[in-house]
Amino acid sequence: MTASSQAAEAKGVRWKLVAPLAVWLAIYLVPVPAGLNVNQWHYFAVFAAVITGLILESMPVGAVGLIGLTVAGVGGYIDADPNKSLRWMLAGFAESTVWLIVGAFVFSIGYRKSQLGRRIALVLVRRLGRNTLGLGYAVAMSDFLLAPATPSNTARSGGIVYPIISNIPRIYGSEPGPTAGKIGTYVMWTAFAATAITSSLFFTALAPNAAALAIAKKTVGVDVSWGQWFVGFAPLGILLMILVPLLSYAICRPEVKRSPEISEWAAKELGAMGPMSRNEWIMLALIVLAMFLWIAGSSPDIHVPVLGSNFVNATTVVFIVISLMLITGVIEFADIVSEKSAWEVFFYFTSLLTLASGLNEIGFIKWFANEFAKPLTGLAPSTAMILLVALFFWIHYFFSSITSHAAAVLPVVLAVGSGIPDLPVATLAMLCMYSLGLMGVISPYATGPAPMYYGSGYIGKGQFWGFGLMFGALYFAGLLLIVLPWLQMR
Report the percent of the chain where pLDDT is more than 70.
91
Q: What is the largest CA-CA distance in the chain?
A: 70
- Does 308 score more than 60 pLDDT? no
Domain range summary for the chain, segments of one domain joined by +: 15-94, 97-331
| Residue, of 10 and 422, whose pLDDT is higher | 422
pLDDT band at 305 (very low <50, low <70, confident <90, very high): low
User: What is the per-residue burial (b if ≥16 Cβ within 10 Å, else e) of 114-142?
Assistant: bbbbbbbbbbbbbebbbbbbbbbbbbbbb
Query: Rounded to the nearest 5 degrees, what angle is found at the Cα of 46, between the Cα atoms of 220 and 343?
Result: 75
- Does 190 score more than 70 pLDDT? yes
CA-nearest of 56, 103, 54 to 346 is 103
Q: CA–CA separation, 118 vs 321, rounded Å?
A: 20
CA-nearest of 265, 277, 214 to 414 is 214
Q: CA–CA separation, 138 vs 204, rounded Å?
A: 21
Task: Please report the pLDDT score of residue 456 as a whole number.
Answer: 80
- Does 326 score more than 90 pLDDT? yes
Q: CA–CA separation, 448 vs 61, rounded Å?
A: 13
CB 356 within 8 A of CB 78: no
| 66, HSE (Cβ side, Cα atoms, 13 Å) | 11
* 13-17, 408-412, 448-452: segment of lowest average pLDDT: 13-17
Q: CA–CA separation, 404 vs 58, rounded Å?
A: 14
Q: What is the pTM of this model?
A: 0.70
| Residue, of 339 and 299, whose pLDDT is higher | 339
- 27-45 mean pLDDT: 91
Q: CA–CA separation, 358 vs 239, rounded Å?
A: 39
The number of beta carbons lying within 10 Å of the beta carbon of residue 3 is 7
Task: Please report the pLDDT score of residue 307 as a whole number.
Answer: 46
pLDDT band at 298 (very low <50, low <70, confident <90, very high): very low
Q: CA–CA separation, 204 vs 193, rounded Å?
A: 18
CB 187 within 8 A of CB 136: yes
pLDDT band at 455 (very low <50, low <70, confident <90, very high): confident
- Does 38 score more than 70 pLDDT? yes
Task: Please report the pLDDT score of residue 302 as a whole number.
Answer: 43
CA distances from 190 to 131, 214, 242, 402 (A): 14, 31, 11, 20
pLDDT band at 301 (very low <50, low <70, confident <90, very high): very low
Task: Please report the pLDDT score of residue 343 as a whole number.
Answer: 84
- 4-30 mean pLDDT: 74
Q: What is the pLDDT of residues 256-280, one digit of tens each?
A: 887 777 788 888 889 999 999 999 9
Q: CA–CA separation, 398 vs 58, rounded Å?
A: 15
CB 178 within 8 A of CB 429: no
Q: What is the pLDDT of residues 403-417, one digit of tens each?
A: 878 887 898 889 888
pLDDT band at 368 (very low <50, low <70, confident <90, very high): confident
- Does 208 score more than 60 pLDDT? yes
Instruction: Show Cβ contacts of residue 290 under 8 Å, excluding neighbours closer than 6 positions.
Output: 107, 149, 317, 318, 320, 321
Task: Please report the pLDDT score of residue 299 as a whole number.
Answer: 46
- Does 6 score more than 70 pLDDT? no
pLDDT band at 400 (very low <50, low <70, confident <90, very high): low
- Does 477 score more than 70 pLDDT? yes
Q: CA–CA separation, 276 vs 147, rounded Å?
A: 21
